């Protein structure tokens, strides 16, 4: 029997500060405040964890742990099928996630698909997913929340009492500053790489490619403090905080990779960027410039067409449509062009087949996807890791929602990384492309400045 009880919204959001100090906990956070991000989810204490390394997966349960040579996509698919048999979806649930898989797939995990076997994964964990039987679902628009429990054959939603959890009772973690971020590439080393890709486009090798560079910093930060700063300075509809025990992922992603609801799949690729401006007139002019840019519109059209083709591998014939070819969405630091592509999944489609068809997303590789990925793998010199991978959930009921892990920082207690990039096309201006990566870095850099200001008086200058 379904039992529900809305709770006070502020207390629901405060809960993440307690939950996310626990290893293998997650906060999938829609803090941007529009319909694309109405739902947020908290979870902790997974019943099974799968960690993908270069040549095997490590599977961890409460009873044992073991290695498996299969890929994380294969193992996750098998586990989800088991869970659907053990815990049948309840039509009474009105929330999209009430138990199932949550985690991330790093960009280089695509090397398990034959077309991307050239990718070289990092030596550390490539992807991590957990399977959760209980958690909290928060609906932003309704300012309501529910605790769900999926431990038995009768899933239920219980009232939540937060009388013992208030923001004033949280103790801050280490009060040390994070150092200035520096890029692996300087402007002088990045511009020739843009030219090399433009030459490849001129020669007919590719149409576009997404080139990025990696920033790094050091410092023993408190993850809860830092994420609190990030969600204030750079709120995003597909944000996330994941505690991996040995490290942390912070995401302020504006981009949805795909969403699955009742067998329908939707993708929302981003292409085209302009910085925000504090002057309303200048800001409106920048937004209008982006909307009317032939270069950015052509770039978005190419990726929209690429994703339509990718969806054709897993959707019913004739079901794919483009409800919205181009719209401008405005975020804290930038304006973006976004399109919407939708389709009806075939009945036999699984997590593994969805990722094999779509991953990595064309918006962060280029077109044609495989050749563009080969070129950027050569030029970028280091693995992307979580950057341009994907964070999200696949519920026991078959619903799913994954972001593109851009505007995403990762690392351990002492070393931190994030990447920023942009799409290179035939008429790209190398200097403008470099500046675009800095515009996209602004959210994490602002969070770092805010974090430092909250833990110590002196301010630092950031690159």
Q: Is residue 3 domain-resident?
A: no
Residue-level pLDDT at 337 = 96
Top-confidence residue, 65 or 144: 65
Residue 271 among the catalytic residues: yes
CA distance 61 to 167: 32
Catalytic residue among 108, 255, 299, 380: 255
Residue-level pLDDT at 1 = 29
How sure is the predictor about 463, in pLDDT bands with cuts at 50, 70 and 90? Answer: very low
Residue 344 among the catalytic residues: no
Q: Is the pLDDT score of 459 beyond 50?
A: no
CA distance 3 to 329: 37
pTM for the model: 0.92
Residue-level pLDDT at 107 = 98
How sure is the predictor about 366, in pLDDT bands with cuts at 50, 70 and 90? Answer: very high
How sure is the predictor about 255, in pLDDT bands with cuts at 50, 70 and 90? Answer: very high
Residue-level pLDDT at 457 = 40
Residue-level pLDDT at 13 = 61
Q: Is residue 463 domain-resident?
A: no
Catalytic residue among 198, 271, 344, 369: 271
How sure is the predictor about 171, in pLDDT bands with cuts at 50, 70 and 90? Answer: low
Residue-level pLDDT at 93 = 53
Query: Which of 344, 338, 262 shows the shortest CA–CA distance to 311?
Result: 344
Residue-level pLDDT at 71 = 97
Q: How many separate domains does the chain show?
A: 1
Q: How many CA atoms lie within 13 A of 284 on its CB side?
A: 3
Mapped to the 3 state alphabet, what secondary structure does 294-349 carry?
HHHHHHHHHHHHHHHHHHCCCECCCCCEEEEEEEEEECCCEEEEEEEEEEEECCCC
Mean per-residue pLDDT, 82-107:
80
State which residues form the domain around 312.
Answer: 9-455
Residue-level pLDDT at 454 = 81
User: Position of tokens 């960027």?
Assistant: 273
User: Position of tokens 């040995």?
Assistant: 246
Q: Is residue 435 domain-resident?
A: yes
Q: Is the pLDDT score of 72 beyond 80?
A: yes
Mean per-residue pLDDT, 285-295:
96
Q: Is residue 1 domain-resident?
A: no
Mean per-residue pLDDT, 59-71:
95
How sure is the predictor about 27, in pLDDT bands with cuts at 50, 70 and 90? Answer: very high
Residue-level pLDDT at 372 = 97
Query: Which of 335, 327, 237, 337 shows the shortest CA–CA distance to 284?
Result: 335
- Write the pLDDT tens digit of every residue in 131-170: 999 888 887 777 677 788 877 666 666 655 433 333 434 4
The percentage of residues in the chain with a pLDDT greater than 90, rounded to a whole number, is 74
Q: Is residue 462 domain-resident?
A: no
* CB contact burial 226-244 (16+ within 10 A = b; e otherwise): bbbbbbebbbbbbbbbbbb
Query: Which of 128, 150, 156, 116 shows the shortest CA–CA distance to 49?
Result: 128
Which pairs count as long-range contacts for 13-17, CB under 8 Å and 24+ apart, including other chains?
13/40, 13/138, 14/162, 14/165, 14/166, 14/167, 14/170, 15/42, 15/136, 15/162, 15/165, 16/42, 16/241, 17/167, 17/170, 17/224, 17/228
Q: Is the pLDDT score of 2 beyond 80?
A: no
Residue-level pLDDT at 163 = 39
8 A C-beta contact, residue 232 and residue 256: no
Q: Is residue 4 domain-resident?
A: no
Residue-level pLDDT at 287 = 96
Residue-level pLDDT at 174 = 58
Query: At 434, which CATH number?
Result: 3.60.120.10
Q: Is residue 2 domain-resident?
A: no
In this structure, are strands 39-43 and 25-29 parallel, antiparallel, or unpaired? Answer: antiparallel
């Amino acid at each position: 029997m379904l039992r529900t009880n809305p709770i006070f919204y502020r207390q629901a959001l405060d809960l993440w500060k307690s939950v996310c100090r626990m290893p293998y906990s997650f906060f999938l956070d829609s803090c941007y405040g529009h319909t694309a991000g109405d739902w947020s989810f908290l979870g902790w204490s997974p019943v099974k964890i799968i960690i993908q390394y270069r040549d095997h997966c490590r599977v961890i349960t409460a009873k044992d742990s073991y290695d498996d040579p299969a890929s994380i996509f294969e193992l996750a698919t098998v586990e989800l099928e088991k869970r659907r048999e053990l815990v049948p979806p309840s039509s009474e649930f009105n929330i999209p996630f009430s138990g199932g898989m949550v985690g991330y797939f790093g960009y280089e995990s695509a090397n398990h698909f034959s077309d991307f076997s050239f990718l070289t994964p990092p030596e550390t964990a490539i992807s991590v997913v957990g399977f959760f039987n209980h958690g909290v679902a928060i609906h932003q628009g309704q300012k309501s929340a529910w605790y769900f429990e999926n431990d038995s054959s009768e899933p239920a939603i219980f009232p939540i009492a937060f009388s013992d959890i208030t923001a004033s009772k949280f103790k801050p973690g280490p009060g040390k500053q994070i150092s200035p971020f520096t890029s692996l590439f300087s402007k002088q080393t990045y511009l020739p790489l843009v030219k090399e890709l433009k030459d490849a486009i001129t020669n007919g090798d590719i149409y576009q490619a997404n080139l990025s560079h990696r920033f790094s910093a050091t410092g023993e930060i408190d993850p809860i403090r830092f994420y609190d700063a990030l969600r204030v300075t750079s709120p995003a509809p597909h944000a996330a905080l994941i505690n991996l025990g040995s490290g942390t992922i912070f995401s302020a992603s504006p981009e949805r990779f795909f969403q699955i609801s009742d067998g329908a799949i939707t993708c929302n690729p981003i292409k085209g960027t302009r910085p925000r401006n504090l002057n309303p007139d200048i800001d409106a002019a920048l937004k209008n410039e982006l909307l009317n840019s032939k270069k950015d519109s052509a770039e978005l059209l190419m990726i929209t067409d690429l994703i339509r083709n990718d969806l054709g591998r897993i959707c019913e014939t004739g079901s794919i449509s483009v409800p919205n070819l181009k719209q401008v969405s405005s975020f804290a630091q930038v304006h973006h062009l976004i399109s919407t592509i939708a389709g009806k999944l075939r009945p036999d489609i699984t997590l593994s087949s969805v990722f094999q068809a779509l991953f990595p997303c064309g918006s962060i590789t280029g077109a044609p996807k495989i050749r563009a990925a080969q070129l950027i793998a050569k030029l970028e010199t280091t693995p992307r890791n979580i950057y341009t991978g994907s964070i999200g959930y696949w519920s026991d009921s078959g619903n799913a929602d994954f972001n593109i892990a851009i505007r995403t920082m990762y690392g351990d207690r002492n070393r931190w990384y994030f990447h920023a990039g942009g799409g290179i096309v035939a008429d790209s201006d190398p200097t403008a492309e470099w500046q675009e990566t800095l515009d996209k870095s602004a959210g994490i850099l602002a969070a770092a400045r805010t974090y430092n200001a909250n833990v110590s008086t002196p301010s630092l200058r950031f690159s």
